[in-house]
Structure 1
């Protein structure tokens, strides 16, 4: 039996008054993946007054979104977009660059695409 892995792993770190979120997407994301991850993000950000978040998104194994999951992602961006100072997306497929540009319309902070994790982390730490 061939089982395809999919999902979104999240890490949350706090350094002083800054939050660092790390995401690793795998496979094709589903609505059920967002039902799991959204409450985690909501509770992490609700606990802090005026959070300033930097996020690192590993899209190296991302294959895309189901339609309903894409809608969930859009809503998550609308809900928390003003709390992100910087979002660095890294991966090696060209379409991810276009998605990053579209997502930038829905967040108030800076969003950039990188080909390596090292470049992405360096930019977040500037």
Structure 2
């Protein structure tokens, strides 16, 4: 499930993620990405992961397709969570993309918000 967080920053997609993300969830994020890049901006992300289990198979595939299509459109990505695998996912994102991705433990959520300018 995705619960978007309202923000005044026009190039930021901020959301709380929980459960498993499916294909429709990722299509919703994809629309948000286009809304931002159509204005000529790089897309920043802020994701709070609470009880986040990952993706359905179709959701994972949709995420890969979106990332491949927009890899050069991404700016900073802040991941906030409490699971080791989430930290590894953030490191992989940082390594495989041209974006700057950082993982923050949930107790450091305010630091993540400052880093992403939320």
2:56 aligned residue? 66
CA contact (8 A) 1:59 1:89 kept: yes
Greater share of residues in helix? 2
By how many angstroms is 1:14 displaced? Answer: 4.8
* Structure whose CA Rg is larger: 1
* Aligned residues: CA RMSD: 2.1
Q: Residue 38 of structure 2 is aligned with which of 40, 44, 47?
A: 47
For normalisation by structure 1, the TM-score amounts to 0.76
Deviations 1:80-124 (A, max 9, x none): 222222101000011101111222244312001000311211222
2:81 aligned residue? 91
Q: Which runs of 5+ in 2 are unaligned?
A: none
CA contact (8 A) 1:13 1:19 kept: no
SS of corresponding position for 1:40? helix
Q: Which runs of 5+ in 1 are unaligned?
A: 1-6
Distance 1:104 1:73 in 2: 16
SS of corresponding position for 1:48? coil
Greater shift, 90-99 or 23-32, is seen at: 23-32
